[in-house]
């Protein structure tokens, strides 16, 4: 849960306090554009000590805070 809270805190801060829940569709809702998506990738790598590969950077892995959390957990990121 700590990973998910860290992700949610980052997303909320960067969107000016938007009401983002774990299952909020980030791309479809318009909260995230392509430039912000890259910022999220950098945040995930730096915050959780990961190096994401091409296959990791996909809309499915970054569609919601829950999917980002699942990616970090799957890759063994530190929380």
Residues 51-65: tens digit of each pLDDT:
999 999 999 999 999
Look at residue 1 and tell me whether its pLDDT is greater than 80.
no
**CA gap 79, 77 in Å, rounded:** 6
Look at residue 69 and tell me whether its pLDDT is greater than 70.
yes
Report the 10 Å Cβ neighbour count for 69.
Answer: 23
Query: What mean pLDDT is predicted for residues 35-46?
Result: 96
31: confidence class by pLDDT, cuts 50, 70, 90: very high
Lowest mean pLDDT among 28-32, 40-44, 63-67: 28-32
Query: What mean pLDDT is predicted for residues 30-55?
Result: 95
Domains of the chain, earliest start first? 2-74 (1.10.1200.10)
- Alpha helical stretches, state H, 2-77: 2-14, 34-48, 65-74
């Amino acid at each position: 849960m700590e990973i998910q809270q860290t992700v949610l805190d980052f997303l909320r801060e960067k969107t000016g306090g938007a009401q983002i829940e774990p299952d909020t569709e980030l791309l479809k809702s318009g909260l995230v554009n392509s430039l912000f998506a890259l910022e999220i990738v950098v945040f995930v790598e730096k915050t959780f000590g990961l190096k994401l590969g091409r296959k990791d950077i996909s809309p499915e892995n970054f569609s919601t805070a829950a999917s980002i959390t699942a990616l970090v957990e799957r890759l063994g990121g530190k929380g």
